[in-house]
Amino acid sequence: MEHTRWHIYDLLNRPKPLWLVGIDLECEDLRHADLSHVDLSHANLANASLKASNLRDAKLKKANLRGGAHLSRADLHNADLRQADLTGANLENAELHGAKLEGAVGLP
């Protein structure tokens, strides 16, 4: 399913906690988005731009962040990235303090 900018804006501005398990956000522009406390387990975020996004305490277990997902300067503090595929993801200056990375693949 292709998402319009309005659909994504509406989705991300709903009351939290958001449960977006398995959502397909491949190649979407999510720069500066507040995704804190959002459950994105099994989500497809391949090639998505998450630059400077807030993913603090987000659940990204088994999420697909392949092919250059742009996470530079993202706040991944305490994020659950267990078994996530980070192959080719840009984590430059990302905050990973307390992140759960067990079984994650593609880490630099």
The proportion of the chain whose per-residue pLDDT surpasses 90, expressed as a percent, equals 44
> What is d(CA 74, CA 64) in angstroms, rounded to the nearest whole number?
16
Beta bridge partners of 90: 70
Coil, helix or strand at residue 5: helix
DSSP 95: B
**Which tens digits make up the pLDDT trace of 29-77?**
998 888 888 999 999 999 999 888 898 999 999 999 988 788 888 899 9
Which domains, ranges and CATH numbers included, belong to the chain? 1-108 (2.160.20.80)
Confidence of residue 6 (pLDDT cuts 50, 70, 90): confident
pTM flag (> 0.85): no
Measure the CA angle with vertex 107, ends 103 and 108; round to 5°: 155
